[in-house]
Amino acid sequence: MKYSFKDDYSEGCHPHILKKLIETNFEQTANANYGQDVFTKEAKASIHKKLNHPKAEIHLVSGGTQANLVVISSLLKPYEAVISAESGHIEVHETGAIEATGHKVLAIPTEDGKLSPNLIQPTLDAHKDEHQVLPRMVYISNATELGTIYSQQELHELSSFCKEKGLLLFMDGARLGTALTSSSNNLDLELIAKYMDVFYIGGTKNGALLGEAIVICNPELQANFRFALKQKGALLAKGRLLGIQFLELFTDDLFFELGKYANRQAEVLSKAIEDKGFEFLAPTESNQVFPILPKTLIQKLQEKYEFHIWQAYNETHDVIRLVTSWATPLDKVQEFINDLED
Amino acid sequence: MKYSFKDDYSEGCHPHILKKLIETNFEQTANANYGQDVFTKEAKASIHKKLNHPKAEIHLVSGGTQANLVVISSLLKPYEAVISAESGHIEVHETGAIEATGHKVLAIPTEDGKLSPNLIQPTLDAHKDEHQVLPRMVYISNATELGTIYSQQELHELSSFCKEKGLLLFMDGARLGTALTSSSNNLDLELIAKYMDVFYIGGTKNGALLGEAIVICNPELQANFRFALKQKGALLAKGRLLGIQFLELFTDDLFFELGKYANRQAEVLSKAIEDKGFEFLAPTESNQVFPILPKTLIQKLQEKYEFHIWQAYNETHDVIRLVTSWATPLDKVQEFINDLED
Amino acid sequence: MKYSFKDDYSEGCHPHILKKLIETNFEQTANANYGQDVFTKEAKASIHKKLNHPKAEIHLVSGGTQANLVVISSLLKPYEAVISAESGHIEVHETGAIEATGHKVLAIPTEDGKLSPNLIQPTLDAHKDEHQVLPRMVYISNATELGTIYSQQELHELSSFCKEKGLLLFMDGARLGTALTSSSNNLDLELIAKYMDVFYIGGTKNGALLGEAIVICNPELQANFRFALKQKGALLAKGRLLGIQFLELFTDDLFFELGKYANRQAEVLSKAIEDKGFEFLAPTESNQVFPILPKTLIQKLQEKYEFHIWQAYNETHDVIRLVTSWATPLDKVQEFINDLED
Amino acid sequence: MKYSFKDDYSEGCHPHILKKLIETNFEQTANANYGQDVFTKEAKASIHKKLNHPKAEIHLVSGGTQANLVVISSLLKPYEAVISAESGHIEVHETGAIEATGHKVLAIPTEDGKLSPNLIQPTLDAHKDEHQVLPRMVYISNATELGTIYSQQELHELSSFCKEKGLLLFMDGARLGTALTSSSNNLDLELIAKYMDVFYIGGTKNGALLGEAIVICNPELQANFRFALKQKGALLAKGRLLGIQFLELFTDDLFFELGKYANRQAEVLSKAIEDKGFEFLAPTESNQVFPILPKTLIQKLQEKYEFHIWQAYNETHDVIRLVTSWATPLDKVQEFINDLED
């Protein structure tokens, strides 16, 4: 059996979660299903402590594509569009989920997966009248699909720009856990809640079985969101399953610990690869590492490990993606590093 | 704390499922996420044994509304409509999920929640040309929202009628577990797979944390269904969570045992209520009981129990709904029966 | 060739319109296409004189289904629904156009095609939480699909009720021309603009080749409506075609004259039928007449005339629909009356 | 009043059409509305003579965006996408009309507005599994938005490629009239009907008041198309208006004469501009001319003429777009040429 560095969702969940599921299994949550149970309430309270934004509203859903499609479709009018990096998850890896709800995604090429006012402005300039869609939202990912992260300065500028242009700002935080615990990070949930109109905190890729916590910071966008959730099949009858998981993740900062652990494994990997003289497609800032390796070495590594070949680089080299997680054992990282030697 | 007879999803899940989650927690499922893991494969194999329909294709999703909206939207053309009982879940309790995918629901009043060729024919007659939607699918629930169940004869007639009229036949089996273990039942999964184009087997209301197993029996309807799932946010990254649950439910017939147990509690309740001289809105055939009780008695019962007041009956009486499940303790049933005494 | 009383759109258009099309044919409307040409501007100014509602915004589109689907889809959020009479055009004769934009139509049975607060209230009562759609708009037709019309008192009550309940009020005026010139009518465009959030003035069924004038009375609903029009394919490149027609219809009150003429023919028909002792499905209030006739007589009439058999009445009688228009010659009406004699 | 070279839809229609409208104005088309009237039938018969493809089905609609959205939405499954040039009308100038029906547009950069197998293949390669949309249709424009046209060889290759890859091929022929009468053209309607699955013949930009004739060549795609039309508000009650126009356009080859005339004016313009030493963004192949002119000259021309400034070229020059039509008087072309002199 090969060890896999393919992604951060190949194991079950952190044992604390399983323990809590067992403890609470026979408690009835009647009158309080579909996400109104006591566990979900406690989970929200725990998250609120980190947000310091009492007006924010929190909703738990089962996955990232679901979070993206419910948020975007509930906030845009039919002719309004969402701006995304060309590498954005909604643009490339959600099977047209956003378009299926009726909205165009306006994709912008980027170097590192991050959007900025300078990159967005030309798209605004190109949309002048009713013969084109009306750009109304900016979608960003943090960490991005290239593992890079936003700094406070970058979010501040983006947020000011969006406010000035009448654009809503939405962050896909499927990997927010590793973004916020990156050694380069200077953001926290409180700042994010201040800058964003909406964002979500990813559980699936940071220790939960499933679950993303959508935070609607802007009170004007909060009305009737549960209707939107139900309509898209996003209200779980046993909402407790999501509540219990976020409750555990936000008890004693488990969420941040798991992110930090994943990042540390990535750093070790990245450092070792760098030390061998290899280069990278993007700097290693969170739990995704994109080294450029000789195809011969890649073939050898594939005998023992699973990972994505991300893209072709040149005739002799490809870029691969290595992902670490809360569940990656240090000895597997070490083993991989040893196997880098020819 | 009041005991709740409100629904069949107020507890966690059957302990076997939790046990298996723990046992398998650290097994990696890379190369096999999003529902292609080994647990899901084994679960499908177990279900297939019951279907005896090798060409059927099985997909696991997280909930009933999600199952309904993915199935219906992926099988209908834009101008095609689905026929449902007026009491059907898609018509009343899914926040317009089907219409949100672009399709009209043609609702037909029924006595007992069940559709038949005679009830459907007038709707076909009323749809003559391109100024009206084209009826293309019949949606039924088994057990129905009134707890009634279909007999083999009824399904046989409905299936023949649909084939003759060019209508697809789709069964919402959110409560199929209690339907198939009802003492009045003469159907099994094999027969259902024979009569239906598509149906699903409900886990959420029969012992799972979440999960419904969609079975596409008609091979002509199977192409590219995973695209439809992904687009609607219905592919869980950790598909193992669904796989493990159905694997357990279909090991040693746990699924059927749990349904049988729920039905037995309902029978005991129903019999006792009948013995006290009360009548019912619908016959008790599965795990839902709809007694017509004096408002004074209802008020008294509400002090100790939670349940839905289903509808007004007359000035002095209301209909209530009592739901039992795999988790309903017999002593709570007995206690409730004792409390029926004035 | 049989003479047709089937509908009010079987001929071309009023000759004034053709004359104006010829006169203006070679004037260029560049910089002003897609409905921003001088003819459209003048047409809007003429309509505005009748509205006495300077803040109202007018948009010309080509047909009724198009008007309904653009208005409704641009004003509702995804989970919001529109209430309609069961006989409403959007419910029965638009091939699910509204559902195709994602919205459920909540249909209410009526006696005469008209909605009232009493009829609407139970639907509001039945929609309590996020498991059901949120009723947000009331759609009425004037004249209705049964030829009946609303009185000022009725609209006043409906409007107050909708304001109180937070419902938008939208009138389909495909046959507003005959409604406003009915001998029972006590409304005018000014009053309608006062009571409605949105309505439209039908050209197609009252002398134009095609065209409906949407009037958005409520300023809060006006933003970006041209984006909605363009997206649904409702902005004609040569918007002049619509502008010229409404300009002619609202010159010297031609619009009202045509409606009055159509109603007069219907009255003559209706009176004669009544005099022969026949009854009606609905009172004749505008240009649609619904007599209940013996099947034998209907068969005889069908040899010379075309008309709809509206519905079965009893074993010996059916209801037919006779429609008159601006183009119905009085001698054809007289001939039909003569043919009523057995 | 400035003379406009802005577009080919700034005048009314060819006088033959007005004449026919007058002649037929009072003929009743009952039993035959919504596009089933005798004029529409005759128009279709005339078009069929050119197609030599008896199995093709023809439908008349009012505009190009409408044609595009009905065709695409009725032929694709929810998760299927359409490939277009980045300059394609559906990608840039239809306010997200295609996305509003639920489908992603996959846009490909091109030199000259034309797609080819080589340009399309990388997009197919990039779409591998259910996490991305499924490319299913190729949309081309002829003439393109840059005035270029497809050759027989190019269409042949594209058609073979699409058949091989299981892609439907759809041509937007809003400007097919000038494409087929270009001096570089070697295609005709018969060849186009052979190569395409669906295409449409544009009336609006070639002498009609409004109207596009959709031709569904592939019999497997024809079922129930009138349902799709009605649902999108594309069936005109007085379908005669479309029928009469196409009947006139296809009587004595008026359609082709008008295209030829427009092209001749463009050629004269283009030749004169070339003779003055100016260059072009794209070769002049039909009725759109894209010269690169000094900004000073453009300013001077703008005093007497209206036209689009298409894009910036460099510090001193811009690209403008000049469009000629069936209605462009030769003396205006000559006058413009004279005004090119500094």
- The alpha carbon of residue B43 is apart from the nearest alpha carbon of chain D, in Å, by 21
* Dihedral angle of Cα B112, B114, B118, B119, to the nearest 10 degrees: 80
**Does B93 lie at the interface with C, CB-CB under 8 angstroms?**
yes
Q: What is the mean pLDDT of chain B?
A: 97
pLDDT above 70 for C80: yes
Task: Quickly list DSSP for C102-168.
Answer: T--EEEE--SSS---HHHHHHHHHT--STTS-EEEEEEEESS-TTS----HHHHHHHHHHHHHHT-E
Q: Which phi-psi region, left, alpha or beta, contains residue B277 (left: φ > 0; alpha: ψ -120 to 50)?
A: left
CB burial of residue B54 (10 Å; 0-12, 13-18, 19+)? exposed
D27: contact with C, CB 8 A cutoff: yes
d(CA C84, CA C158): 13
Structure-token match 């493990």, residue found? B244
User: Would you call B131 and C103 a contact, using CB atoms and an 8 Å cutoff?
Assistant: no
Asked if A130 lies within 8 A of C79 by C-beta distance, the reply is no
pLDDT at C31 over 80: no
Q: What angle do CA D248, D253, D256 make, to 5 degrees?
A: 110
pLDDT in the model for residue A256: 98
What would the mean pLDDT of C8-36 be, rounded to a whole number? 94
pLDDT of A32:
80
Instruction: Looking at the complex, report in whole angstroms how far the Cα of residue B164 sits from the nearest Cα belonging to chain A.
Output: 32
Average model confidence (pLDDT) across chain A = 97
Residue A12's Cα: distance from chain center in Å? 18
Chains that touch C (3 or more CB pairs under 8 A): A, B, D
Angle at CA D188, nearest 5°, toward D183 and D190?
A: 175
Judged by CB atoms closer than 8 Å, whether chains meet at A62 and B236 is answered as yes
The domain locations on chain B are 3-9+254-338, 15-249
SS3 A132: coil
Judge whether residue A314 has pLDDT over 80. yes
What chain C residue is nearest to D99 in terms of C-alpha separation?
A: C231
Distance CA A320, CA A307 (A): 7
Of chain A, the percentage scoring pLDDT greater than 90 comes to 98
Nearest to A12 among B25, B65, B95 (CB): B25
Distance of residue D115 Cα from the nearest chain C Cα, in angstroms: 25
Q: What is the pLDDT of residues A249-282, one digit of tens each?
A: 999 999 999 999 999 999 999 999 999 999 999 9
Region of C142 on the Ramachandran plot (φ > 0 left; ψ -120 to 50 alpha; else beta): beta
Residue C146 has a pLDDT of 96
**Each residue's pLDDT tens digit, A192-211:** 999 999 999 999 999 999 99
pLDDT for A341 equals 83
The alpha-carbon radius of gyration of chain A (Å, integer) is 20
Q: Among candidates D150, D171, D175, D178, which has minimal Cα distance to D215? A: D171
Which one is the CATH code of C15-249: 3.40.50.720, 3.40.50.150, 3.40.640.10, 3.30.40.230?
3.40.640.10
Residues C207-224, mean pLDDT to the nearest whole number: 98
Which pLDDT value is given to residue A107?
Answer: 98
Superfamily of domain D3-9+254-339: Aspartate Aminotransferase, domain 1 (3.90.1150.10)
CA C125 to chain centre: 29
For B10, B207, B211, the CA distances from B248, given in Å and listed in that order, are: 20, 10, 12
Domain B3-9+254-338 -> CATH class: alpha beta
**Average pLDDT, integer, range A184-189:** 98
Residue D64 phi, psi (nearest 5): -70, -45
For residue A342, the model assigns a pLDDT of 62
Nearest by CB: D230 against C95, C231, C232:
C95
Between the alpha carbon of residue B308 and those of residues B2, B7, B325, B342, C275, the distances in Å are 13, 9, 15, 21, 57
Query: What's the ipTM?
Result: 0.96
SS3 category, D265:
helix
Query: In this model, does residue C275 exceed pLDDT 90?
Result: yes
Taking residues C66-79, report their average pLDDT.
98
C102–B102: do the CB atoms touch at under 8 Å? yes
Cα–Cα distance, D98 to D232 (Å, whole number): 12
Instruction: Tell me how crowded residue D26 is: count the other CB atoms within 10 A of its CB.
Output: 12
Segments of chain B with pLDDT less than 70: 342
**Strand runs labelled E in C207-314:** 212-216, 279-280, 288-289, 291-294, 305-306, 308-312
- Across C303-317, average pLDDT: 96
For residue D227, the chain B residues in CB contact (below 8 A) are 79, 130, 133-134
Mean of the per-residue pLDDT values for chain C? 97
Measured CA to CA, the distance from residue A267 to residue A307 in angstroms comes to: 17
Neighbouring residues of A97: CB distance < 8 A, sequence distance ≥ 6? A65, A68, A69, A90, B230, B231, B232, B233
pLDDT at B342: 62
The residue type of D127 is: H
**Would the CB atoms of C74 and A73 count as touching at under 8 Å?**
no
- Whether the per-residue pLDDT at C342 is higher than 70: the answer is no
Cα gap B104→D231, rounded to integer Å: 11
The ranges of chain D with pLDDT < 70 are 342
Looking only at Cα atoms, what is the longest distance across chain B?
62
Percent of chain C exceeding pLDDT 90 equals: 98
| Residue of A31, A205, A306 with shortest CB distance to B30 | A306
Q: Does A294 touch chain B (CB under 8 A)?
A: no
Q: What's the CA gap between A235 and B144, in Å, rounded?
A: 21
Distance CA C85, CA C81 (A): 13
Is the pLDDT score of A44 beyond 70? yes
Interface test with B, best of C72, C90, C95 (most B CBs within 10 A): C95
Q: Which residues pair with C214 in a beta bridge?
A: C59, C200
Of D102, D228, D230, nearest to B131 by CB-CB distance is D230
Are residues B157 and B175 in contact, defined by beta-carbon separation less than 8 angstroms?
no
What is residue B171's three-state secondary structure?
Answer: strand
Residue A69 has φ and ψ, to the nearest 5°, of: -75, -35
Beta strands at D212-216 and D57-61: parallel, antiparallel or unpaired: antiparallel
Q: Partners of B279 in the beta sheet?
A: B292
Region C1-17: mean pLDDT is: 96
Q: What is the pLDDT of residue D191?
A: 98
pLDDT for the residue C219: 98
Specify the pLDDT at position C222: 98
Token pair listed for D140:
């081309």
Residues of chain C in contact with residue B104, where contact means CB-CB under 8 angstroms, are 96, 99, 105
Contact check, Cβ <8 Å, C134/A224: yes
Contact residues, A window 200-229, toward B, CB-based 8 Å cutoff: 204-205, 209-210, 227
DSSP annotation of D68 reads H
Convert the pLDDT of each residue in B283-342 to its tens digit: 999 999 999 999 999 999 999 999 999 999 999 999 999 999 999 999 999 999 999 986
Of D257, D321, D141, D296, which Cα lies nearest the Cα of C30? D321
**Is the pLDDT assigned to residue A184 strictly greater than 80?**
yes
